[in-house]
Chains A and B, each alone.
Chain A
Amino acid sequence: NAGVMQNPRHLVRRRGQEARLRCSPMKGHSHVYWYRQLPEEGLKFMVYLQKENIIDESGMPKERFSAEFPKEGPSILRIQQVVRGDSAAYFCASSSGQGNGYTFGSGTRLTVV
């Protein structure tokens, strides 16, 4: 009974490259959320997806960031042309939408050099 699986755990990218972060929700969960955590700051909501639909992307930067949750496979958070300011821990959470709380993955730590 695996929890929320995120990979890779650590990702190093040079400025200008693309970063792809993957998240497989818990079995039975169809709601996926992406959060970003910067040092000394709390978790900031980025985007909420259900299968094949973006429900709320109000926390996503307008440029370079995109997310998807296809019918088959994991949810993907993509950051194009990364900059140093994108260095952070990115967490994915999933829920059943039935009020049982949100389960988080262990995160992907992105470092842009």
Chain B
Amino acid sequence: QKEVEQDPGPLSVPEGAIVSLNCTYSNSAFQYFMWYRQYSRKGPELLMYTYSSGNKEDGRFTAQVDKSSKYISLFIRDSQPSDSATYLCAMIFNQAGTALIFGKGTTLSVSS
């Protein structure tokens, strides 16, 4: 079993839809969870950074962590064509410089 599982998609939605992206993980030692957005041929860009179980909201984006189920989600409200990208979940054991472990990424396409 891989450490971090993420459905690669592709996921296609119409503009304005609510998008749900998910990852599961196997190691309960992961403490910090991130979502990155990567446009084609660009570097990943940090979208959300969370620690505890629960929800964190930033504009149209909501990150949700359920440590008991080892499951994290990213919701995008009122999706826009500019949201079309690959979304990568990532997690680390602690803040002190350990390496991020990434999911494979989900490719999202939002059509106008």
Contact = CB atoms under 8 A, between A and B. Distances in A.
A80 to B, nearest CB: 23
A104 B49 contact: no
A42 B99 contact: no
A50 B99 contact: no
Interchain residue pairs A-B with the least CB separation, the first 6: A99-B95, A104-B43, A42-B104, A45-B99, A43-B102, A42-B102
A56 B42 contact: no
A106 B103 contact: no
A42 B103 contact: yes
Report, as a range, how many residues of chain A touch the other chain.
20 to 34
A20 to B, nearest CB: 19
A33 B46 contact: no
A42 B36 CA distance: 12
Interface string A77-104: 0000000000000010101011111111
Question: How would you classify the secondary structure of chain A's contact residues: helix, strand, loop or mixed?
Answer: strand
Interface of B: 6, 8, 32, 34, 36, 41-46, 49, 88, 90, 95-105
B46 A102 contact: yes
Contacts of B96: 97
A43 B97 contact: no
8 contacts: A42-B6, A42-B103, A43-B102, A44-B102, A50-B97, A97-B97, A99-B32, A102-B100
A42 B4 CA distance: 10
B42 A106 contact: yes
A37 B103 CA distance: 12
Contacts of A100: 49
B105 to A, nearest CB: 6
B94 to A, nearest CB: 9
A55 B41 CA distance: 29
